[in-house]
Amino acid sequence: MRPTMGDIAVEAGVSQMTVSRVIRGTGQTSVEVRERVHDAARKLGYVQNRLATALRDESSTLVAVVLPTLRNRVFSEVLDGINEVLSTGGYRPVFGVTEYSQEREEELVLDLLSWRPRGIILSGLEHSDATRAAVLASGVQVVEVMDTDGDPISAAFGLSQTQAGRTTASHMISKGYRRFGYIGSRDGKDLRAEKRFAAFRDVVRESGAQIVNEILVEGPSSMVAGRRSTAQMVASADRPDAIYFSNDDLAAGGIMHCLSEGIEIPSELALAGFNGLSFLEALPIRLTTVETPRLEMGRRAAAHVMQASEPSESLPSPSVIDLGFRLIPGETC
């Protein structure tokens, strides 16, 4: 159907091998032959069949990417960073979404591995044993992004979710708040948010303060959910004087509720978020949050997969690269 190197070879009057060499620009070829081959290729509308190349090479230039969701800007930014770097080397991401389910992740990983990708990028450090076993057995480059609190399969680029939670708590406590609320999402399926909150809670308790109210919203986190939950929490008997949100979208919703209801920030209610999304800069009130290196985690992970040229028998020892975070003090606490 579609022209192959063989067809071009006939058209150009050379062997298939010569066509292969010309097209890849490897080996020695005369100028004259090169031109004939390129002309023939153009004339026939030749498009390389990378399936064959990859089969032959026992590895493709695809990179598997496994994300928990696409409904959260955080992960599309990570994906953007990944793609940005991969595309400079002609690599392409093939991806799947787990919806925060380890079982789904397991299936997905097996499936993606069947494309013999050059590497696989996973989110977080928690995976089922089968998932870990599968990627390890596959021999492909494995990189985990987002988190540093745990044992990586091989390499990880992330930030300490625990430290981020502690830092936020310390900041809020230093500002004098003592009665805290927490608004999170995903019914505890987001392990990283859980780590942040666990650390936050520890610091709060250590300091003698307390968590007086917790709301976990159903469905994906969003400004709307944040606004609704804040309204609910503020109206409840256990009204906190400060709320820690599991991310900026929820927190921004909290700000919106306060703006609408005339609740004074931070005197009547203090708020803190997580991620440092750029839209916060546009809000009338600057949210106190923790900035995370989302693009950078993606870029570094992609770069790591790409520079894995030599399949060294001695697998590089597991290593975690902490890309850090930064507390951005705003006007909300």
Q: Are 261 and 199 in contact (CB under 8 A)?
A: no
**Beta strands at 155-159 and 179-185: parallel, antiparallel or unpaired:** unpaired
What mask of x and - would describe binding to a copy of itself in positions 116 to 155, judged by CB under 8 A?
x----------------xx--xxx----------------
Residue 76 lies near DNA (rule: CB under 7 A): no
Residue 327 lies near a copy of itself (rule: CB under 8 A): no
Q: Looking at 49-57, 123-131, 245-253, 301-309, which segment touches DNA (CB under 7 A)?
A: 49-57
In the list 35, 39, 42, 57, the residue contacting DNA (rule: CB under 7 A) is 57
Task: Show contacts with DNA in window 124-163 (CB under 7 A).
Answer: none
Closest approach of DNA to the CB of residue 193, in Å: 39
Residue 253 lies near a copy of itself (rule: CB under 8 A): yes
Closest approach of a copy of itself to the CB of residue 25, in Å: 16
Q: Are 212 and 235 in contact (CB under 8 A)?
A: no
Q: For residues 314 and 312, give the distance between their C-alpha atoms in angstroms, rounded to a whole number.
A: 5
What angle do the packed helices 31-44 and 16-24 form, to 10 degrees?
A: 90
Strand partners, 245: 183
Q: For residues 60 and 159, give the distance between their C-alpha atoms in angstroms, rounded to a whole number.
A: 30
Interacting partner of 198 out of DNA, a copy of itself, none (Cβ under 5 to 8 A depending on kind): none
Interacting partner of 27 out of DNA, a copy of itself, none (Cβ under 5 to 8 A depending on kind): DNA
Q: Are 145 and 165 in contact (CB under 8 A)?
A: no
Among candidate residues 258, 283, 253, 260, the one with its CA nearest the CA of residue 269? 258
Structure tokens given for 35: 């031109």
Choice between 28 and 314, CB closer to DNA: 28
Q: Looking at 45-53, 170-178, 193-201, 254-262, which segment touches DNA (CB under 7 A)?
A: 45-53
Q: For residues 216 and 247, give the distance between their C-alpha atoms in angstroms, rounded to a whole number.
A: 12
CA 128 to chain centre: 18
Choice between 31 and 56, CB closer to a copy of itself: 56
Choice between 13 and 188, CB closer to DNA: 13
Choice between 16 and 102, CB closer to DNA: 16
Peptide bond into 318 cis (omega under 30): no
Q: Are 80 and 298 in contact (CB under 8 A)?
A: yes
Residue 277 to residues 249, 293, 294, Cα–Cα distance (Å): 9, 10, 10
Residue 26 lies near DNA (rule: CB under 7 A): yes
Structure tokens given for 218: 């159903």
Structure tokens given for 94: 């093939």
Which residues would be at the binding site for a copy of itself (CB under 8 A)? 1-2, 45, 47-52, 54-55, 58, 60, 62, 70-71, 73, 76-77, 79-80, 83, 87, 90, 92-97, 110-116, 133-134, 137-139, 222-224, 226-227, 249, 252-253, 256, 259-260, 278-279, 281-284
Which residues would be at the binding site for DNA (CB under 7 A)? 1-2, 4-6, 14-18, 20-21, 23-24, 26-30, 32-33, 48-49, 52-53, 55-58
